[in-house]
């Protein structure tokens, strides 16, 4: 499971949850979600593990592509 906690345009904390990496990947490729790429991510977790990510929502996809996520399965 992937959980992305971010600040929206009105600085309200929001969380997007995806059941799997594949679900997250599909949402990014299909542009199915209404989250702006420039929103600041506060916390990124994969299967309950904090990935210590600091950046924007739009860069999460590329960050996760470079990680060895199998260590958290």
Mean pLDDT over all residues of the chain?
Answer: 93
Stretch 42-57: mean pLDDT, rounded?
97
In terms of Cβ atoms closer than 10 Å to its own Cβ (0-12, 13-18, 19+), residue 46 is buried
Would you state the structure tokens that stand for residue 67, as one six-digit string? 């990680």
Q: pTM surpassing 0.85?
A: yes
What is the phi-psi region of residue 58: left when phi exceeds 0, alpha when psi lies from -120 to 50, beta otherwise? alpha
The predicted pLDDT at position 24 comes to 92
Q: Which CATH architecture has domain 2-72?
A: 2-Layer Sandwich (3.30)
Rounded Cα–Cα distance for residues 5 and 12 (Å): 10
- 24 neighbors 11 (Cβ within 8 angstroms): no
């Amino acid at each position: 499971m992937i959980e992305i906690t971010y600040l929206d345009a009105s600085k309200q904390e929001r969380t997007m949850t995806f059941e799997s990496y594949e679900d997250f990947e599909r949402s990014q490729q299909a542009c199915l979600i209404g989250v702006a790429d420039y929103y600041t991510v506060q916390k990124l977790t994969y299967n309950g593990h904090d990935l210590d990510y600091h950046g924007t929502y739009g860069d999460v996809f590329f960050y996760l592509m470079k990680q060895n996520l199998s260590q958290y399965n």
